[in-house]
Amino acid sequence: MTAQFGEETPVVSVVIPTNNRKLWVTEALDSVFDQSYTNFEVIVVDDGSEDGTSEHLRERFGDRIRLLRTEGTNCPTARNQGASHARGKYLAFLDDDDRWYPEKLEKQVAFMAIAGPEVGMVGSACDHMDKDGKPFWKPSYPDNEMTYENACVKPKLPGASSGCLIRTDVFNELGGFDLELTRNQDRDLWIRLTRKYRVPMLQDVLSTVRIHGTQRRGVNTDTIEQCRLEINRRIPERSVRRKADGWTYFHLFNLNWKDKKGKALAYLIRSFIVCPAPLPIRENRVKMAIRRFLGRR
Protein backbone atom coordinates (compact mmCIF):
# COMPACT_ATOMS: atom_id res chain seq x y z
CA MET A 1 0.00 0.00 0.00
CA THR A 2 1.13 3.54 -0.72
CA ALA A 3 1.80 5.38 2.54
CA GLN A 4 -0.70 8.15 3.21
CA PHE A 5 -0.15 11.24 5.34
CA GLY A 6 -0.66 10.36 8.98
CA GLU A 7 -0.24 6.62 8.38
CA GLU A 8 2.98 4.58 8.36
CA THR A 9 6.18 6.47 7.66
CA PRO A 10 7.08 5.96 4.00
CA VAL A 11 10.53 4.80 2.94
CA VAL A 12 10.53 6.99 -0.19
CA SER A 13 9.18 10.49 -0.75
CA VAL A 14 8.46 11.13 -4.42
CA VAL A 15 8.63 14.84 -5.28
CA ILE A 16 7.20 16.14 -8.58
CA PRO A 17 7.27 19.88 -9.39
CA THR A 18 4.96 20.91 -12.22
CA ASN A 19 3.95 23.98 -14.18
CA ASN A 20 1.20 24.04 -16.82
CA ARG A 21 1.68 20.42 -17.86
CA LYS A 22 -1.40 18.71 -16.48
CA LEU A 23 -1.44 15.96 -19.11
CA TRP A 24 2.26 15.13 -18.87
CA VAL A 25 2.30 15.25 -15.07
CA THR A 26 -0.65 12.85 -15.09
CA GLU A 27 1.47 10.41 -17.12
CA ALA A 28 4.34 10.91 -14.68
CA LEU A 29 2.07 10.17 -11.72
CA ASP A 30 0.59 7.12 -13.42
CA SER A 31 4.14 5.75 -13.75
CA VAL A 32 4.68 6.33 -10.02
CA PHE A 33 1.53 4.48 -9.02
CA ASP A 34 2.53 1.62 -11.34
CA GLN A 35 5.66 0.97 -9.23
CA SER A 36 6.29 -2.55 -7.97
CA TYR A 37 7.61 -0.98 -4.76
CA THR A 38 4.76 0.70 -2.89
CA ASN A 39 6.07 2.11 0.41
CA PHE A 40 6.18 5.70 -0.77
CA GLU A 41 4.39 9.01 -0.52
CA VAL A 42 3.84 11.41 -3.42
CA ILE A 43 4.28 15.17 -3.08
CA VAL A 44 3.30 17.28 -6.09
CA VAL A 45 4.26 20.96 -6.13
CA ASP A 46 2.08 22.94 -8.53
CA ASP A 47 4.32 25.91 -9.22
CA GLY A 48 1.91 28.54 -10.48
CA SER A 49 0.05 26.52 -13.12
CA GLU A 50 -2.72 28.33 -15.00
CA ASP A 51 -4.12 25.35 -16.91
CA GLY A 52 -6.16 23.81 -14.09
CA THR A 53 -3.42 21.40 -13.03
CA SER A 54 -4.28 21.42 -9.31
CA GLU A 55 -7.99 20.83 -9.89
CA HIS A 56 -7.27 18.07 -12.40
CA LEU A 57 -4.85 16.28 -10.07
CA ARG A 58 -7.20 16.51 -7.08
CA GLU A 59 -9.98 14.95 -9.14
CA ARG A 60 -7.76 12.27 -10.67
CA PHE A 61 -5.63 11.20 -7.71
CA GLY A 62 -7.44 12.46 -4.61
CA ASP A 63 -5.68 11.75 -1.32
CA ARG A 64 -3.09 9.51 -2.98
CA ILE A 65 -1.00 12.66 -3.45
CA ARG A 66 -0.08 15.60 -1.24
CA LEU A 67 -0.63 18.67 -3.40
CA LEU A 68 1.27 21.85 -2.57
CA ARG A 69 0.88 25.18 -4.35
CA THR A 70 3.56 27.79 -5.00
CA GLU A 71 3.16 30.91 -7.05
CA GLY A 72 5.37 30.54 -10.09
CA THR A 73 8.83 30.44 -8.51
CA ASN A 74 11.27 28.16 -10.33
CA CYS A 75 12.14 24.48 -10.49
CA PRO A 76 14.75 24.35 -7.68
CA THR A 77 12.46 26.28 -5.33
CA ALA A 78 9.56 23.95 -6.09
CA ARG A 79 11.77 20.88 -5.58
CA ASN A 80 13.07 22.17 -2.26
CA GLN A 81 9.55 23.05 -1.17
CA GLY A 82 8.42 19.50 -1.86
CA ALA A 83 11.47 18.01 -0.15
CA SER A 84 10.81 20.09 2.97
CA HIS A 85 7.55 18.17 3.44
CA ALA A 86 9.13 14.75 2.85
CA ARG A 87 8.88 12.06 5.51
CA GLY A 88 10.79 9.32 3.70
CA LYS A 89 14.31 8.04 4.21
CA TYR A 90 14.96 8.62 0.52
CA LEU A 91 13.96 11.31 -1.97
CA ALA A 92 13.02 10.45 -5.53
CA PHE A 93 12.54 13.48 -7.77
CA LEU A 94 10.57 13.12 -10.99
CA ASP A 95 10.26 15.85 -13.60
CA ASP A 96 6.66 16.39 -14.69
CA ASP A 97 7.42 15.47 -18.31
CA ASP A 98 9.28 12.22 -17.56
CA ARG A 99 8.20 8.70 -16.59
CA TRP A 100 9.51 5.80 -14.53
CA TYR A 101 9.61 2.12 -15.34
CA PRO A 102 7.70 -0.03 -12.80
CA GLU A 103 10.85 -1.45 -11.15
CA LYS A 104 12.57 1.93 -10.66
CA LEU A 105 12.02 2.37 -6.94
CA GLU A 106 12.28 -1.33 -6.13
CA LYS A 107 15.76 -1.68 -7.63
CA GLN A 108 17.15 1.54 -6.20
CA VAL A 109 15.72 1.05 -2.70
CA ALA A 110 17.15 -2.49 -2.65
CA PHE A 111 20.56 -1.14 -3.66
CA MET A 112 20.58 1.61 -1.05
CA ALA A 113 19.41 -0.78 1.66
CA ILE A 114 22.72 -2.67 1.48
CA ALA A 115 24.96 0.29 0.60
CA GLY A 116 27.30 1.74 3.20
CA PRO A 117 27.02 5.22 4.72
CA GLU A 118 29.54 6.54 2.19
CA VAL A 119 26.90 6.19 -0.55
CA GLY A 120 24.70 9.27 -0.77
CA MET A 121 22.79 8.60 -3.96
CA VAL A 122 22.28 6.01 -6.68
CA GLY A 123 21.60 6.75 -10.35
CA SER A 124 20.54 4.68 -13.35
CA ALA A 125 20.29 4.56 -17.13
CA CYS A 126 17.42 6.07 -19.11
CA ASP A 127 15.77 6.01 -22.49
CA HIS A 128 13.98 8.82 -24.31
CA MET A 129 10.65 9.74 -25.86
CA ASP A 130 9.41 12.63 -27.98
CA LYS A 131 6.69 15.08 -26.99
CA ASP A 132 4.03 12.56 -28.00
CA GLY A 133 5.51 9.76 -25.90
CA LYS A 134 7.03 7.84 -28.82
CA PRO A 135 10.53 6.29 -28.48
CA PHE A 136 13.28 8.74 -29.40
CA TRP A 137 17.05 8.29 -29.54
CA LYS A 138 18.85 5.33 -28.09
CA PRO A 139 19.14 4.69 -24.32
CA SER A 140 21.80 6.54 -22.33
CA TYR A 141 24.01 4.53 -19.99
CA PRO A 142 26.17 5.99 -17.21
CA ASP A 143 29.61 5.09 -15.99
CA ASN A 144 29.60 2.69 -13.05
CA GLU A 145 30.09 5.59 -10.67
CA MET A 146 29.91 9.36 -10.91
CA THR A 147 33.15 10.85 -9.61
CA TYR A 148 33.74 14.37 -8.33
CA GLU A 149 35.75 15.40 -11.41
CA ASN A 150 33.11 14.01 -13.77
CA ALA A 151 30.39 15.88 -11.88
CA CYS A 152 32.40 19.09 -12.22
CA VAL A 153 33.24 18.75 -15.90
CA LYS A 154 30.54 16.68 -17.62
CA PRO A 155 28.39 14.54 -15.36
CA LYS A 156 27.15 11.36 -17.03
CA LEU A 157 23.83 11.12 -15.23
CA PRO A 158 21.12 9.80 -17.57
CA GLY A 159 17.70 11.03 -16.61
CA ALA A 160 19.23 13.65 -14.31
CA SER A 161 17.09 13.95 -11.16
CA SER A 162 14.37 11.69 -12.57
CA GLY A 163 16.77 8.74 -12.60
CA CYS A 164 18.16 9.06 -9.06
CA LEU A 165 17.38 8.10 -5.48
CA ILE A 166 19.08 10.26 -2.84
CA ARG A 167 19.18 9.95 0.93
CA THR A 168 16.99 12.60 2.51
CA ASP A 169 19.50 13.34 5.25
CA VAL A 170 22.23 13.91 2.65
CA PHE A 171 19.99 16.21 0.61
CA ASN A 172 19.21 18.26 3.72
CA GLU A 173 22.86 18.31 4.79
CA LEU A 174 23.82 19.78 1.41
CA GLY A 175 21.10 22.41 1.59
CA GLY A 176 19.10 21.11 -1.37
CA PHE A 177 19.05 22.74 -4.79
CA ASP A 178 20.51 26.22 -5.25
CA LEU A 179 17.58 28.63 -5.57
CA GLU A 180 19.62 31.17 -7.53
CA LEU A 181 20.24 28.81 -10.45
CA THR A 182 17.58 28.62 -13.15
CA ARG A 183 19.56 25.96 -15.05
CA ASN A 184 21.98 23.18 -14.12
CA GLN A 185 20.88 23.08 -10.48
CA ASP A 186 21.14 19.28 -10.74
CA ARG A 187 24.82 19.46 -11.67
CA ASP A 188 25.51 21.94 -8.87
CA LEU A 189 24.01 19.52 -6.34
CA TRP A 190 25.91 16.55 -7.78
CA ILE A 191 29.21 18.45 -7.46
CA ARG A 192 28.56 19.16 -3.79
CA LEU A 193 27.37 15.60 -3.28
CA THR A 194 30.35 13.84 -4.87
CA ARG A 195 32.80 15.87 -2.80
CA LYS A 196 31.60 13.96 0.28
CA TYR A 197 29.76 10.84 -0.89
CA ARG A 198 29.93 8.08 -3.46
CA VAL A 199 27.34 7.93 -6.25
CA PRO A 200 27.14 4.45 -7.83
CA MET A 201 25.15 4.10 -11.04
CA LEU A 202 22.91 1.16 -11.91
CA GLN A 203 23.06 0.07 -15.54
CA ASP A 204 19.31 -0.58 -15.67
CA VAL A 205 17.07 1.69 -17.75
CA LEU A 206 14.68 2.93 -15.06
CA SER A 207 13.32 6.21 -16.43
CA THR A 208 12.17 7.75 -19.70
CA VAL A 209 13.11 11.36 -20.42
CA ARG A 210 10.89 13.40 -22.72
CA ILE A 211 12.76 15.37 -25.39
CA HIS A 212 10.79 18.40 -26.53
CA GLY A 213 11.16 22.06 -27.44
CA THR A 214 9.36 23.70 -24.53
CA GLN A 215 10.93 24.94 -21.31
CA ARG A 216 9.36 26.10 -18.10
CA ARG A 217 10.61 29.68 -18.19
CA GLY A 218 12.94 31.91 -20.18
CA VAL A 219 15.78 29.50 -20.96
CA ASN A 220 18.30 30.42 -23.65
CA THR A 221 21.97 29.83 -24.28
CA ASP A 222 22.90 33.04 -22.43
CA THR A 223 21.12 31.70 -19.34
CA ILE A 224 22.85 28.35 -19.73
CA GLU A 225 26.24 30.07 -20.03
CA GLN A 226 25.61 32.24 -16.98
CA CYS A 227 24.52 29.35 -14.76
CA ARG A 228 27.22 26.93 -15.89
CA LEU A 229 30.04 29.44 -15.41
CA GLU A 230 28.69 30.43 -11.99
CA ILE A 231 28.76 26.77 -10.93
CA ASN A 232 32.28 26.39 -12.35
CA ARG A 233 33.43 29.48 -10.44
CA ARG A 234 32.63 27.69 -7.18
CA ILE A 235 34.95 24.74 -7.96
CA PRO A 236 38.00 25.30 -5.71
CA GLU A 237 40.50 23.19 -7.69
CA ARG A 238 41.90 25.37 -10.48
CA SER A 239 42.79 22.48 -12.79
CA VAL A 240 39.30 20.99 -12.49
CA ARG A 241 37.71 24.41 -12.93
CA ARG A 242 39.59 24.96 -16.21
CA LYS A 243 38.33 21.61 -17.51
CA ALA A 244 34.79 22.55 -16.48
CA ASP A 245 35.07 25.86 -18.33
CA GLY A 246 36.51 24.09 -21.37
CA TRP A 247 33.54 21.74 -21.55
CA THR A 248 31.06 24.56 -20.87
CA TYR A 249 32.28 26.53 -23.88
CA PHE A 250 32.31 23.40 -26.03
CA HIS A 251 28.75 22.65 -24.97
CA LEU A 252 27.77 26.19 -25.96
CA PHE A 253 29.47 25.64 -29.33
CA ASN A 254 27.21 22.63 -29.89
CA LEU A 255 24.07 24.47 -28.79
CA ASN A 256 24.71 27.44 -31.09
CA TRP A 257 26.07 25.65 -34.16
CA LYS A 258 22.75 25.18 -35.99
CA ASP A 259 21.54 28.78 -35.92
CA LYS A 260 24.49 30.96 -34.86
CA LYS A 261 27.64 29.55 -36.41
CA GLY A 262 29.75 32.65 -35.79
CA LYS A 263 28.91 32.66 -32.11
CA ALA A 264 29.45 28.89 -32.00
CA LEU A 265 32.95 29.17 -33.46
CA ALA A 266 33.84 31.81 -30.87
CA TYR A 267 32.80 29.38 -28.14
CA LEU A 268 34.84 26.60 -29.75
CA ILE A 269 37.98 28.75 -29.79
CA ARG A 270 37.33 29.82 -26.20
CA SER A 271 37.02 26.18 -25.16
CA PHE A 272 40.55 25.38 -26.33
CA ILE A 273 42.00 28.63 -24.96
CA VAL A 274 40.81 28.01 -21.41
CA CYS A 275 41.63 24.29 -21.52
CA PRO A 276 43.90 23.04 -24.33
CA ALA A 277 44.44 19.72 -22.53
CA PRO A 278 42.14 16.74 -23.19
CA LEU A 279 38.95 16.64 -21.14
CA PRO A 280 37.84 13.63 -19.07
CA ILE A 281 35.11 12.66 -21.55
CA ARG A 282 34.72 9.65 -23.81
CA GLU A 283 35.46 11.42 -27.11
CA ASN A 284 37.81 14.33 -27.77
CA ARG A 285 36.57 17.75 -28.80
CA VAL A 286 38.40 17.81 -32.12
CA LYS A 287 36.56 14.74 -33.43
CA MET A 288 33.26 16.01 -32.08
CA ALA A 289 33.77 19.42 -33.73
CA ILE A 290 34.70 17.83 -37.07
CA ARG A 291 31.45 15.87 -36.98
CA ARG A 292 29.60 19.16 -36.54
CA PHE A 293 31.42 20.74 -39.47
CA LEU A 294 30.52 17.71 -41.63
CA GLY A 295 26.88 17.85 -40.57
CA ARG A 296 26.96 14.66 -38.53
CA ARG A 297 25.57 14.14 -35.04
Check residues 231 and 130 and name the one with the higher pLDDT. Answer: 231
pLDDT in tens, 226-242: 999 999 999 999 999 99
Q: Residue 5 pLDDT > 60, yes or no?
A: no
The proportion of the chain whose per-residue pLDDT surpasses 90, expressed as a percent, equals 66
Instruction: For residue 215, name the pLDDT band (cuts at 50, 70, 90).
Output: very low
Instruction: For residue 220, name the pLDDT band (cuts at 50, 70, 90).
Output: confident
pLDDT in tens, 70-114: 886 778 889 999 999 999 999 999 999 999 999 999 999 999 999
pLDDT in tens, 166-208: 999 999 999 999 988 888 899 999 999 999 999 999 999 999 9
pTM of the model: 0.89
pLDDT in tens, 241-253: 999 999 999 999 9
| Average pLDDT of the segment spanning 283-291 | 85
Task: Give dist(CA 277, CA 170) in Å, integer.
Answer: 34
| Average pLDDT of the segment spanning 154-167 | 87
Q: Residue 217 pLDDT > 70, yes or no?
A: no
Specify burial of residue 85 (Cβ count, 10 A radius: 0-12, 13-18, 19+): middle
- Of residues 160, 215, 217, the one with CA closest to residue 187: 160
Q: Residue 219 pLDDT > 80, yes or no?
A: no
| Average pLDDT of the segment spanning 2-30 | 85
| β-strand partners of 42 | 14
DSSP-assigned letters across all residues of the chain: ----TTSSPPSEEEEEEESS-HHHHHHHHHHHHT-S---EEEEEEEES--SSHHHHHHHHHGGGSEEEEE-S--HHHHHHHHHHT--SSEEEE--TT-EE-TTHHHHHHHHHHHS-TTB-EEEEEEEEE-TTS-B-S--B---SB--HHHHHH----TTGGGG-EEEHHHHHHHTSS-TT-SS-HHHHHHHHHHTTSB-BEEEEEEEEEEP-S--SS---HHHHHHHHHHHHHT---HHHHHHHHHHHHHHHHHHHTTT-HHHHHHHHHHHHHH--SPPSSSS-HHHHHHHHHTT--
Check residues 295 and 238 and name the one with the higher pLDDT. Answer: 238
Q: Residue 218 pLDDT > 70, yes or no?
A: no
Task: Give dist(CA 120, CA 135) in Å, integer.
Answer: 31
pLDDT in tens, 135-154: 888 899 999 999 999 999 98
- Which value, in Å, is the radius of gyration of the alpha carbons in the chain? 19
Q: What is the mean pLDDT of the chain?
A: 90
Give the model's pLDDT for residue 221: 83
Q: Residue 38 pLDDT > 90, yes or no?
A: yes
Give the model's pLDDT for residue 202: 96
Q: Residue 50 pLDDT > 60, yes or no?
A: yes
